[in-house]
Structure 1
Amino acid sequence: MATEYSSLFTFFGGTGDLAKRKLYPSLFKLYVRGNLGEHFAVIGTARDSWSDDQFREVVTQSIREDQPDADMHAASVFVTHFYYLAHDVTDKAHYAVMKDLVEKLDEQYSLKGNRIFYLSMAPRFFGEVALNLKSEGLLSEDGSNRLVIEKPFGTDFTTAETLNEQLSGAFEEKQIYRIDHYLGKEMVQNIQALRFGNTLVESLWNNRYIDNVQVTLSEKLGVEDRAGYYDTAGALRDMVQNHIMQIVSQLAMEQPVSFTDSDVRVEKIKALRSLRVYSPAEAAKNFIRGQYGANDTEPAYRDEPNVPKDSANDTFVAGKLLFDNYRWSGVPFYVRTGKRLADKFTRIDVVFKKPLIDIFAFPQNRDNSLAPNVLTIYVEPNSGFSLQLNAKTAGQGFETEPIHLDFQQDVAQKEETPEPYERLLHDTLKGDQTNFASWDEVSYAWKFVDVIQKLWDSETPDFPNYVSGSMGPAASDELLQRDHRSWIYRLNR
């Protein structure tokens, strides 16, 4: 039986695209699963002057579009728990009106003072909203108060630190949920199960046996309609500082004392503390950037709507991370991400060291050597694992070839797998911060990224430098070739 939770959700930015595409459909899935029942309510807030009925119709439509086979009778009951409030987050008088509605709904639905405030709005308002929630008395004294924040969490370490100080003036760290939807993905959460649930894997998870680790977050689409934000952020800030660093910290962390949010966070923080922060010269050597150009059917980044014609913004990043600790000394973690690449996928390739002596090659003086063993974690669009091993080819003689042991989630398993936002909203209700970024994690990630971004801001790149539909600029391949390595997933056209 699913555990039913009681809470009032208040969505700031309640008419926005994220709320309609992801948040409301995810709440409905929790309702269908039984995690939400009679004792919940939702307030949507924005500047728009909507009625409750108009708001409920929008929510109903978002469910219908996301889940064509949904039980619309259940949806009609579900949306009766939704209420709308036109609200100016900068006007303290508006918080008094919100407080009256919050207290009314708390009593009406027996919510026991449990409140979740979700900020899916312009980041410049995050601190102000948090402080106003406290100063104007919207935080309950008896129940739980939780603040959920979408990225970006600052634009560098200084702005992130300032924002964190503002949030800390109203909420305790244990009440702040910095959401990263990649941490809600099934196979990202499987990293810890794979490592710490299998002696075979964990015993080899170190620099004695692993040669390098590769993380690829590839996007097929371009900037779309996000130029206003993206041209001030770029791939480094938009993807590396948060999603990639969170994945890498799970790959690099030590085994926690227990599988609790506090113990998992301790080990992730330790891993990020050991991440080598580069000097500008080291950053120039170990990180490269790119910007997509046109192909036969798609425009260059600089020709996209609302993108400056001389934009030096990075739409591609590749780099090498090094951890200065006993487990990972000498093992490079290669990462890359970009827009307008060959396809949309996320994968992790763990490349193991080859045998010191290839006994199958030496007597015959063969030119082709053993392929490395590679453990691949497929995060999206398919979910699963693949292990590349060497085996004898069928027939006379003795030749070897790589074979693959594969596991992919079937249709039934995929249907049972919660969407990332569904999972993370459930964790918020539960009060489990395992899959949310702590301030220490965010701060170490920014300190690492800031050196690279500052260097790039001081230079004028020769853009564009890769064709839409490729896997990025040639410098991405050269980054690994200097170390006598190559990307496991390779495609360049």
Structure 2
Amino acid sequence: MPYTINAHKPTVLIVFGGNGDLTKRKIIPALFNLYLENRLPEKFAIIGTSRTKFTDEKYRTDLLAGINKFSRTGKAKKEDWAKFSVNISYQAADIKDVASYDEFESTISKLKNEWKEDPSVLYYCAVSPDLFCTIAENISKSKLENNHETTRIIIEKPFGRDLESAKALNKKLLTIFDEKQIYRIDHYLGKEVVQNVMAFRFANTIMEPLWNRTHIEHVQISVTEQIGVEDRGSYFDNAGILRDMIQNHLLQLLCIIAMEPPVNFDADLVRDKKVEVLKAMRKIVPGMIDKVAVRGQYGAGWVEGKEVLGYREEAEVNEDSNIETFAALKFYVDNWRWQGVPFYLRTGKRLFKSASHIIIQFREVPHNMFNNVERNLPKQNRLIISIQPDMSIKFQLESKTPGLEMNLNTVDMVFDYDGKTKIDSPEAYETLLLDVISGDQTLYMRADQVEAAWEVVMPVLDYWENNKMNDFPNYPANSWGPENAEALIAKDGFHWINLPDKNKKE
């Protein structure tokens, strides 16, 4: 991505929720890997904060355990960790108490004097969403660094619980910060394959003539998870999969597939094109919801030889919960490029396997000349973008099978990250954190983009909340979801495409 601010400017990162799971699993390992690749500024400081009291030494020890367990580069070398961790400190604080912020101001001033240069100051809200406004307000009341060019605030999802709460949160943040200071993070946008879709689409002339309703029959976007809600029962039972996955991750993937080419990679120009997609999406009217949306909730079952609980038996979940753990929806983008092309989105927990992929299915050949009953008839071409567990972009084409007969066979043209690249692909948080440090908002959501995404799903969300399902749970663990999810796509003459897993029997 094109950086608009010197990436080597001294930087102070204050992590609210510094003792949390996200910090240990993602944020610190990402920063450490950036350090190993000489991507961080020469002068930087990381300040973790939460209510728990720690010494700096104890805090660093806990973070090192997280790196050794979760970092893509494996266990940290002692000398590397020693040089990196000297920049980490910990400040116990009650983030609801404005007086607690005085110590942050004192630390920033001390670093200014030491570095003899004003640093960029980044506030990372790795906390419960109900604390986002509190942190922003106390930063303002404490008159902490708020230079519009160098101060930034990073907001984790969920950004609001619905359209009205998202608008209220945007309104509050924008009274304190400018839009260019607010980084609403969606880690899916930092994934290597997702970024490569932009290059694949807009850097290759052969793609543009095919990327429209004339040649594309339908699009499928699937993000499936084998795990259940694990220790997130309390959160999930107030959110559901529609809020947790579709409103943000899956709709953002849809935007990347459907957007028009921007003039250049300026952050606002790219985000303008994504907002145009959301604004063009066909409104879902109440009477049509059951025809375009399916929900499900998992029951008990067996996963990899182990018996697992149904959703309603999970910890901190209501025993008669109406919350969906599976959702499948059909959308249309009403513009010249995509008119009439259905976009099918599917996501769920306790499904057969964990995978994320985008499938572009092209139309049939206009005239089938291979019509001999003894031959394999040509199958429709597909572009398969696999995000996880494998990272690849695959074209499925038809070719003649070697031999004396004119028999057809599907062949794959594959760009496989694992097999073709010698560079270890960075984790999403590495990309996203480097962008924040550098002042690049291309991969971050703008206020109008967040609100437009909420507008798309609100009719379904309201309907589901006000209409209880009587057949929950309606799919067993280790399946592909409820039967009516298949009916949703089958009535249009299609079926969900589940990619084979070489390590698992279908």
Taking structure 2 as the reference length, what is the TM-score of the superposition? 0.93
Equivalent residue runs for 1:44-59 within 5 Å: 44-59=48-63
By how many angstroms is 1:322 displaced? 0.4
* Among candidates 413, 434, 441, match of residue 426 of structure 1: 434
Deviation, structure 1 residue 354: 0.4
Distance in 1 between the 2:192 and 2:323 partners? 31
Structure-2 residue corresponding to 1:378: 386
The residue type equivalent to 1:449 in the other structure is V
CA distance in 2, matches of 1:111, 1:474: 62
Q: 1:110 to 1:122 in 2, by over 3 A?
A: farther
Which residue number corresponds to residue 487 of structure 1?
496
TM-score (norm 1): 0.95
Change (3 A) 1:118 1:357: same
Kept after mapping to 2: 8 A contact 1:4/1:34: no
| Equivalence for 1:282 | 288
Aligned partner of 1:152 in structure 2 is 158
Looking at structure 1, the residues matched to 191 and 472 of structure 2 have their Cα atoms a distance apart, in angstroms, of 33
| 1:434 positional shift | 0.7
Residue in structure 2 matched with residue 43 of structure 1 by the alignment: 47
Distance (whole Å) between structure 1 residues aligned to residue 420 and residue 112 of structure 2: 38
Match of 2:203 among 173, 180, 197: 197
Identify the match of residue 413 of structure 2 among 401, 405, 411: 405
**C-alpha contact 2:69 2:75 (8 A) present in aligned 1:** no
- Equivalent positions of 1:81-480 (< 5 A) are 81-110=87-116, 112-141=118-147, 144-296=150-302, 297-361=307-371, 364=372, 369-410=377-418, 413=421, 415-461=423-469, 462-480=471-489
Give CA deviations for 1:10-69 in whole Å, capped at 9, x if unaligned. 000000000011101111111111122541001111111112222222222222223434
Question: In 2, distance between residues paired with 1:490 and 1:311?
Answer: 31
Change in CA separation of 1:51 and 1:194 when aligned onto 2, cut-off 3 Å: same
Q: 1:363-412 CA deviation, whole Å, 9 max, x = no partner?
A: x3679742110000111111111111112233343332222222211368
Give, as a single letter, the amino acid of the residue that structure 2 aligns with 1:469.
N
3-state DSSP of counterpart to 1:390: strand
CA distance in 2, matches of 1:142, 1:275: 34
Q: Which residue of 2 aligns with 1:80?
A: 86
* CA 138–195 in structure 1, closer or farther in 2 if over 3 Å, else same: same
**Preserved CA contact (<8 Å) 1:13 1:119:** yes
The number of aligned residues is 490
User: Hey, what's the Cα distance between the residues in 2 that align with 1:474 and 1:5?
Assistant: 55
Q: Tell me, yes or no, if the aligned pair for 1:220 and 1:344 is still in contact at 8 Å.
A: yes
CA offset at residue 128 of structure 1? 1.7
Equivalence for 2:8: 4
8 Å contact from structure 1 (residues 8, 42) kept in 2: yes
DSSP-derived class of the 1:200 partner: coil
Q: Which runs of 4+ in 1 moved over 4 A?
A: 365-369, 490-493
Instruction: Report which stretch shifted further, 294-303 or 482-491.
Output: 482-491
1:40–1:111 contact (8 Å) kept in structure 2: no
8 Å Cα contact 1:375/1:388 also seen in 2? yes
Report deviation, 1:82.
1.2
Cα displacement (A) at 1:458 = 1.6
One-letter amino acid of the counterpart of residue 466, structure 1: Y
- State percent identity of aligned pairs: 39
Partner Cα distance (1:366, 1:228) in 2: 58
Task: Please say if residues 329 and 344 of structure 2, whose CA atoms lie closer than 8 Å, have aligned partners that are also in contact.
Answer: yes
Cα pair distance change 1:73/1:205, threshold 3 Å: same
Cα deviation per residue 1:325-378 (whole Å; 9 max; x = unaligned)?
0000000011100111111111110000001221212xx367974211000011
Secondary structure at the residue paired with 1:134? helix
For residues 120-139 of structure 1, the C-alpha deviation after alignment (integer angstroms, 9 at most, x for no partner) is 00111101211221221112
The one of 23, 28, 39 aligned to 2:27? 23
Residue type matched to 2:280 in 1?
A: S
Matched with 2:3 is: none
C-alpha contact (below 8 Å) 2:216/2:361 kept by paired residues: yes
Letter matched to residue 254 of structure 1:
E
Distance 1:142 1:121 in 2: 23
Letter in 2 for 1:448: V
Return the offset for 1:285. 0.9
Cα distance per residue 1:226-251 (max 9 Å; x no partner)? 00101111110000000001110010
Q: CA deviation at 1:413?
A: 3.2
SS of aligned partner of 2:161: coil
**CA RMSD after TM alignment:** 1.9
- 1:194, CA displacement in angstroms? 0.7
User: What amino acid is aligned across from residue 347 of structure 1 in structure 2?
Assistant: H
